[in-house]
Amino acid sequence: MGFRPETPLLAVDGIINLQDEKGNWKGIVLIERKYPPVGLALPGGFVEIGETVEEALIREMKEETGLDVIIIKQFRVYSDPERDPRRHTVSVVFECVARGEPKGADDAKTARIYSYEEIPFEKLVFDHEKILKDYLADIKAVWRER
């Protein structure tokens, strides 16, 4: 077996813009994490071997929130080696939409809807405060097109 360099883990995070059944915007879904680091976060998780990032995103959103999401677009990639205190992790962040009521499951203790104005930035873990502030400042974000 040859030399195998250590590389960062690959993850996905979803910015889920939730709609009601009539298509009206309700807000964004955040989860309360069960495991350290404890706090609020975007739903997400690690990409599994043999999976595309898009497949991982759809799977992780379903596992953590119970929602079936539709991917709008890849938002950005976040790769700061300090973004996750557990290990260097690179995250591909997607903007997506869903309908229904989120329910916390898997690694999520709870899942809740927050209006864009009431996001509790001070309770967010990892670099999710930066991600959401970048998103809310993005003039091309789908939530601006309401």
What DSSP string describes 51-78? --HHHHHHHHHHHHH----EEEEEEEEE
Across residues 84-113, what is the average pLDDT?
A: 94
Q: Give just the sign of the alpha carbon dihedral 40, 46, 52, 55.
A: negative
Mean pLDDT, the chain, integer:
93
Residue extents of the structural domains in the chain: 9-145
CATH number of the domain at 9-145, out of 3.30.420.40, 3.90.79.10, 2.40.50.140, 3.30.1780.10?
Answer: 3.90.79.10
Instruction: Read off the tokens for 55.
Output: 């497949």
Per-residue pLDDT tens for 101-130? 999 998 889 999 999 899 999 999 999 999
3-state secondary structure of 127: coil
Instruction: Read off the tokens for 99.
Output: 């309908």
Q: Specify the pLDDT at position 139.
A: 73
Q: Specify the pLDDT at position 144.
A: 63
> Cα–Cα distance between 24 and 8 in angstroms, integer?
38
